[in-house]
Chain A
Amino acid sequence: MNCLQFENALPEYLEGSRTAEQQAHLNACTSCSTLLADLDLISTQAASLRELEDPSPRVWNALEIQLRREGLIRRPETQATGGFFSRWRTAWLVPVAAALAIVAGVKLYQPARVGDIQPTAKVSPAPAKARPAVATPAIAPEDKDIMSTVASRPPAQVAAYRNDLDQANAFIRDAQEAVRNNPNDIYSQQLLINAYEQKQMLYRLALDETENNDEQ
């Protein structure tokens, strides 16, 4: 038996079917016995590769998200909201409650109109600044008053203000939708509160500045 013949028969040899001829060749041939030893070593050491590494935390995070999305994780809302959110919510709600009051005769966006959906029409161009253009068109009815208070400003300012108002309205719309989809979800409710606050800030700002300018 020569080396080539031995090698061809090697797989069976390793499985246990060994002939005397093969054994004899092994005893005589260093090259083949080395080969055998090496292959043996490789196959036994291979198991050391079995459990080597942990995946990054990202994997679990993404997995958990997907499990929730598919409803495989379904924990009932047993958690009382008090301990979790209360500090934060209180801090935000107090100024908002005050903020949603009617100011200086101008009607602010009212929470009672939560169900309202802004009419969507064609897009109007946004001012030429690197800010996200919001695809709302006509001025919302409740914003007409505040827009008229800023109308006398330089056009660039008016356009910028309009863009900001559009962003605020878009935020409110998105938050409203989130609340509609998840009525018991505190997070969505908080988003809506934040969205209102932004709009309220814009109103206050316009009124403050109008006051200042009026004193000229």
Chain B
Amino acid sequence: MSSGKCAAGIAAVLMLSGLALAADTIHKDLHFKVGKHPTVSINNPYGPVVVKAGAAHEVAVIALLHSDKVELDQSKSHNRVDITSHLLAGADEKSGFVEYEVLVPADTDLTLQSETGRIHAEKLQGDLTVAGNNGPIEVTDCTDGHVHVRTLNGTVTLSNVHGHIEIMSVGGDVVMRGVTGTLVAVNSNSGRIEYEGDFGEEGDYAFTSHTGNIDAVAPAYASIDVLARSTNGSVQSDFSLEPKHAPFIIRGANAISGTLGKAASSVNLFSFSGKIRLKKRQN
């Protein structure tokens, strides 16, 4: 629960913590009252967006606009808050630069967009949709929701995230640490896919790439049904898998298939020409 004072205090801390102050920066401080399970979207083409779980029923937005060539558009309707960095005529990456630090209720459904800025989402439990172009994307300690991430060339890092997860990347690397869920799907073109975790929760793990390498590190006790195949790249596994029928005949591809433990989760690692490595975690 929060009061105006508390929120202002938080805002002050946030301001001191990370936001850069330039000469003619314009500081905005917004608060919105919301109900349960609100929807919040933030679209900031140039500049970082950092969102963390805060008090219930309140959305607190701190924004630093780096020039007057960009405006903060806000709209609130019922249980929904939309914030957009509106670039005015002549605005470019520098003059259109805005920094956001936002606190939302943990159960918020969130949509975050930025072209060049860093997007950071932390400790959230609602659905999360992130669209970045070139900036890094970090999702940390988020559970229970649907997490959809899309990037062109920014690095995507998921730490301790659980739920239904879909990630798409062209050239950005996708790094997952302690990520599990009913579905964890990564579709990459040339970005590397790295997974370190136990492939738990009886989930479907599907990592595919065009040319990016796929590296998965799992513990010896992992319970997985593995199918790893690269049409033109190599496939290696540290594990001695129990054999099983692969449901297709492969011509000219490298593949490994088999099960470990009770084969609770399915792990599909597919690449066209990337190298695939399934490694055993060294404890």
A contact residues vs B (CB 8 Å cutoff): 57-58, 60-61, 64-65, 68-69, 74-81, 84-85, 87-88, 91-92, 129, 131-132, 154, 160-161, 164, 167-168, 170-171, 174-175, 178, 181-182, 184-188, 190-191, 194-195, 197-198, 201-202, 205, 208-209, 212-213, 215-216
Residues of B within 8 A of A69 (CB): 251-252
Contact check, B248 vs A171: say whether CB atoms are below 8 A apart.
no
Chain B 69-105 residues near chain A, CB threshold 8 A: 84, 86-89, 91-93
Known: A74-B249, A132-B190, A175-B272. A57 touches B239 (CB 8 A): yes
Residues of B within 8 A of A160 (CB): 134, 152-153
Contact check, B170 vs A164: say whether CB atoms are below 8 A apart.
yes
Contact check, A77 vs B131: say whether CB atoms are below 8 A apart.
no
Known: A91-B183, A131-B153, A194-B208. A77 touches B249 (CB 8 A): yes
Cβ-defined partner of B170 (8 Å) among A68, A167, A190, A208: A167
Contact check, A198 vs B189: say whether CB atoms are below 8 A apart.
yes
For chain B, what secondary structure do more than half of its interface residues adopt (helix, strand, loop), or is it mixed? loop
Q: How many residues of B contact A (CB 8 A)?
A: 56
Residues of A within 8 A of B268 (CB): 88
Known: A160-B152, A215-B86. A174 touches B272 (CB 8 A): yes
Residues of B within 8 A of A175 (CB): 210, 272
Residues of A within 8 A of B237 (CB): 57-58, 61
Contact check, B170 vs A197: say whether CB atoms are below 8 A apart.
no
Contact check, A164 vs B210: say whether CB atoms are below 8 A apart.
no
Residues of A within 8 A of B150 (CB): 201, 205
Task: State A195–B211 Cα separation when bound (angstroms).
Answer: 12
